Structure 1
Amino acid sequence: DDVIEKTRAQIDKLKDLKTGMMQELLTQGIGHTEFKDSPVGRIPASWGLVTLEQLIGKLEGGVSVNGENRPKGPDEIGVLKVSSVLRGKFLPNEYKTVLSTDVDRARINPTIDRILFSRANTRDLVGESAYVDKTYEDLFLPDKIWMLDVRDRLQVNVRWLSYILCSGNIRRAISDAATGTSGSMKNISKSSLLAITVPLPTLDEQKNIAKTLEAVDNELTGSTARLHTYENLKKALMQDLLTGKVRVKLDSPEVAAA
């Protein structure tokens, strides 16, 4: 229990660290001393301002296919749920197994070095986005998730853009641009998304910012994996105790010696 609590505390600290670092790095950059006011807040004087349309060259969505809530078999494919894109993370296990009658309709795999974007969700979750670090040939996009690619990798670092899309100011802009009569579901159009203004550092600074934040993300991933291991081990031990597979020795060494 002590190890589990310490690991949870470490995860909470890392989350707070990441939030603070994102706010600082994505608005103040690295090593700047001169700043200017802009429509997106105070930013380094050397940074530019662009719309997402100037950065994003390709934006494509999947299609709505019928699926079942069960693990897919070796020869089956999955369609992602909107819950697969959450808090800046891509969760590839959040999918439905596509029915055999709909397999031919599925299109667009999550692809390495792209960004997934939730175009329709609740007000709090619409606009959630996540970086894709590998290609998943057995998974496909639904109609409510877009995949974004940049216009020019010599000007824009994809991972940096993924962090910008998750930053507080941009998330608020996305949420404000979302529309919908339903109280539970909001949508954002391509034109509204691409019209949003973001600050633009040099490519080298983008890479350095992304590398710094990625290091914290890796620490978080490792700590979370360890926590799951500890929790599963605890559950297994408790089960063994309850079923009698493992017995607790109540006799202390002193009693045994007596």
Structure 2
Amino acid sequence: MFGDPIENPKGWPRVELDEVLDGIDSGKSPVCLSRPATPGEWGVLKLSAVTYGRYNASENKALPEGTAPGQNLEVRPGDLLFSRKNTYSLVGAVVLVRETPKRMLLPDLIFRLRLGEPQMLTASYLHQLLMYPSKRKEVRSLAGGAAGSMPNISKGRLLKLRVEVPPMSLQEEYARVVERLEQHRRLIGAQLHCLEAGLDSLQATAFSARL
């Protein structure tokens, strides 16, 4: 459909990321509690919430009572989150937030990429593009840092990254396919959860001599 982004066999136009984004938000990392936030509490995402290419809101730390949350940094569905600092193999990981609990906040190690208007790229396409292996290698090459420290990608370097821009109709078609697959994945996940609960119940019954 798109071709390898580095080889770009279909000759898509290439522009700097600065041309397709309205901006990049930086988070904050106040001192937090050692436990995750409970429902109704504010929480600050940990780096592990985005490390493996899929958003995991359970990876967070509760904001202490009395610490004012930066509500403009609350994570919302549709956000593109980018890990600006991590080990070399994990730096630059990107997730597309499809659903999230309320009151989850952006930490300082994660950027939020805000697409500009009118859109040149869909969030789904940009997410998958930046996570494609050959493009990931290019993204990781942007990282710098002192010896002994975790590699870090600055806003300035990230905004200079050149990205491939296929026709919007093709991007939207791709996004629809991805969304259908994501819905299927969520359905299978719910079914697996029910199966695991059934197996746990069977185990408890069998080993309590009630079966």
Q: TM-score, normalised by structure 2?
A: 0.87
Q: Which runs of 5 or more structure 1 residues have no equivalent in the other structure?
A: 1-24, 29-37, 248-258
Instruction: Report how far residue 160 of structure 1 moved.
Output: 1.5
Instruction: Report how far residue 116 of structure 1 moved.
Output: 0.8
Say which of 240, 244, 256 aligns to 2:205: 240
Q: Which residue does the alignment assign to 1:189?
A: 154
Which of these two proteins has the greater Rg computed from alpha carbons? 1
Pair 234,137 (structure 1): closer, same or farther in 2 beyond 3 Å: closer
Instruction: Report how far residue 117 of structure 1 moved.
Output: 0.9
Q: More helix by proportion, 1 or 2?
A: 1
Q: More strand by proportion, 1 or 2?
A: 1
Q: Separation in 2 of the partners of 1:67 and 1:117? A: 21
Instruction: Report how far residue 43 of structure 1 moved.
Output: 2.6
Once the two structures are superposed, residues 13-38 of structure 1 have per-residue CA deviations (whole angstroms, 9 ceiling, x without a partner) of xxxxxxxxxxxx3426xxxxxxxxx8
Q: Which residue does the alignment assign to 1:254?
A: none
Instruction: Report how far residue 105 of structure 1 moved.
Output: 5.5
Once the two structures are superposed, residues 124-143 of structure 1 have per-residue CA deviations (whole angstroms, 9 ceiling, x without a partner) of 21111111235754111110
Whether 2:173 is the aligned partner of 1:208: answer yes
Kindly indicate whether the alpha-carbon contact (under 8 Å) linking 1:43 and 1:199 is maintained by their aligned counterparts in 2. Answer: no
> Where in structure 2 are the equivalents of 1:99-114 lying within 5 Å?
99-104=64-69, 107-114=72-79
Instruction: Report how far residue 189 of structure 1 moved.
Output: 0.7
Instruction: Report how far residue 182 of structure 1 moved.
Output: 5.3
More deviation in 166-175 or 104-113? 104-113
SS of residue matched to 2:111: strand
Kindly indicate whether the alpha-carbon contact (under 8 Å) linking 2:84 and 2:92 is maintained by their aligned counterparts in 1. Answer: yes
Pair 90,117 (structure 1): closer, same or farther in 2 beyond 3 Å: same
Once the two structures are superposed, residues 168-225 of structure 1 have per-residue CA deviations (whole angstroms, 9 ceiling, x without a partner) of 1221111121122355722111111111112111111111122223323333333233
Q: Which residue does the alignment assign to 2:52?
A: 87
Q: Which runs of 5 or more structure 2 residues have no equivalent in the other structure?
A: none
Aligned residues: 211
Q: Separation in 2 of the partners of 1:89 and 1:81? A: 13
Work out the percentage of aligned pairs sharing the same amino acid. Answer: 27
Q: Separation in 2 of the partners of 1:216 and 1:73? A: 30
Once the two structures are superposed, residues 38-91 of structure 1 have per-residue CA deviations (whole angstroms, 9 ceiling, x without a partner) of 8x213314x211121111221011111122233434442111111111433211
Say which of 25, 39, 44 aligns to 2:10: 44
